[in-house]
Amino acid sequence: MPRAADPLPEPPGAIKLISLADIRQAADRLRGITVRTPLLPFGEKGLVKPESLQPTGSFKLRGAYNALAQLAESGSRNGVVTHSSGNHAQAVARAARLLGLRAVVVMPENAPRVKVDGVRADGAEIVFVGPANAERVARAHQIADGQGLELVSSANDSRVMAGQGTCGLEIVEQLAEMRLATDEPVTVLAPIGLGGLAAGVAVAVKELRPATKVIGVEPAFAADTRDSLAAGRLRRWSAEQTGRTMADGLRGEAPAAIPFAHLQRYLDGVVTVEEDQIAAAVSRAAAELRLVLEPSGAVTLAAMLFHAEHLPSARHVAIASGGNVDRERFVALLARGYHSPEWSETNRS
């Protein structure tokens, strides 16, 4: 297993945690913009929340629209800049178009074509840089300073994180509608890249259902959050290390500082999944749930399928975070998953 590099310096000052009220206000802003995705039964006690069904194909529209809507409410019309490998880029582009704002997006040159096309379709300007997250961040800051644009991070922004937390708010509401008692053991599985979704979901779920466990899921090739939580401070993995995972949306080299503060308080643990397990989960989602998932969106399903013994309860809710994947790559993933050792003879029937 790769070893993390030296710890990152601590962020200056105390970080103010978001509240349940912040998430509820985000839900009000998102009404009519995002979809209340269902909880789909999977297996005997599993449930899958397909955020791949959101208008831009991932959960990211929740956070991006909440942040940009607040900018519009404040009267700011200069526009925004962001850095993203794809899904947040698409979400910012869509939110900016809906709100009449200019958007500039810094993307890695190896971003999936389907995500690049989605950004362009919503009229955002794209600036390409190398694959390292640090390069994207630096270029976005340069553009923000030079052009007077508001920088909207994909995760290190309380407004974005509150928007992502609405996914957790929905899960709690839906569990109640299913008449699951608040003290019944349930584990919510959230993918972790830079940590915004897992942090926002954890706040909503733990504030409303304290007995419910929230577990983060990372690829074994990009387990920087697991290492950071174990160390009690941010730990960085190199771009070469995280770049090995097929889950391109989870290649953040270290958790963002604001989400990390929330994860330290609210998250109950981290599970890591292997590449063949991710591919098998993509195949199982297609075959059994009729869902198209990108690898990043399938890691929680992989945890539910292959690491149930490491989870704190028998009933699981897996957030399938996105489904933006190039068609050719999706076909290859289906083949890899179907032929992997993880796909047993009983799964093929």
| H, E, C per residue of 23-78 | HHHHHHHHCCCCCCCCCEEECCCEEEEEHHHCCCCECHHHHHHHHHHHHHHCCCCC
Residue 252 has what pLDDT?
86
| 8 A C-beta contact, residue 154 and residue 84 | yes
Q: How confident is the model at residue 96 (pLDDT cuts 50, 70, 90)?
A: very high
| 8 A C-beta contact, residue 171 and residue 206 | no
Collapsing DSSP to helix, strand or coil, 82 comes out as: strand
C-alpha pair distances (Å), 163 with each of 5, 90, 110, 189? 31, 15, 27, 18
60-151 has the same fold as 20-58+158-348: yes
For the cut 80, the answer to whether the pLDDT of residue 8 exceeds it is no
Tens digit of pLDDT for each residue in 307-318?
999 899 989 999
**Which pair of structure tokens corresponds to residue 304?**
């539910």
Residue 5 has what pLDDT?
39
What number is the average pLDDT over the span 156-163?
97
Beta strand residue intervals within 9-95, DSSP E = 40-42, 46-50, 80-83
**Hey, where are the domains in the chain?**
20-58+158-348, 60-151
Tens digit of pLDDT for each residue in 20-36?
999 999 999 999 999 99
Calculate Rg over the CA atoms of the chain.
19
Residue 183: burial class (beta carbons within 10 Å; 0-12, 13-18, 19+): exposed
Q: What is the DSSP letter of 27?
A: H
Q: Looking at the domain 20-58+158-348, which fold is it?
A: Rossmann fold (3.40.50)
C-alpha pair distances (Å), 185 with each of 106, 121, 191, 278, 319? 42, 43, 20, 25, 17
Tens digit of pLDDT for each residue in 234-278?
999 998 899 899 998 899 889 999 999 999 999 999 999 999 999
C-alpha neighbours within 13 Å on the C-beta side of residue 56: 31
Residue 202 has what pLDDT?
98
Q: Give CATH for domain 60-151.
A: 3.40.50.1100
Collapsing DSSP to helix, strand or coil, 292 comes out as: coil
Residue 13 has what pLDDT?
53
d(CA 69, CA 242): 32
Q: Tokens 């178009």 belong to which residue?
A: 97
For the cut 70, the answer to whether the pLDDT of residue 3 exceeds it is no
3 vs 59, residue with greater confidence: 59
pTM of the predicted protein model: 0.91
Catalytically annotated residues: 60, 321
What number is the average pLDDT over the span 6-10?
40
- Whole-number mean pLDDT of the chain? 91
Tens digit of pLDDT for each residue in 66-95?
999 999 998 877 899 999 878 999 999 999
Tens digit of pLDDT for each residue in 289-339?
999 999 999 999 999 999 999 899 989 999 999 999 988 999 998 988 877
d(CA 33, CA 35): 7
d(CA 131, CA 245): 13
Cβ neighbours of 233 (radius 10 Å): 15
Residue 9 has what pLDDT?
42
3-state helix, strand, coil in the chain (%, to 5): 50, 15, 35
DSSP sequence for 137-186: HHHHHHHHHHHTPEE--SSS-HHHHHHHHHHHHHHHHHHHHTT--TTS-E
For the cut 70, the answer to whether the pLDDT of residue 6 exceeds it is no
d(CA 35, CA 277): 28
| 8 A C-beta contact, residue 299 and residue 285 | no
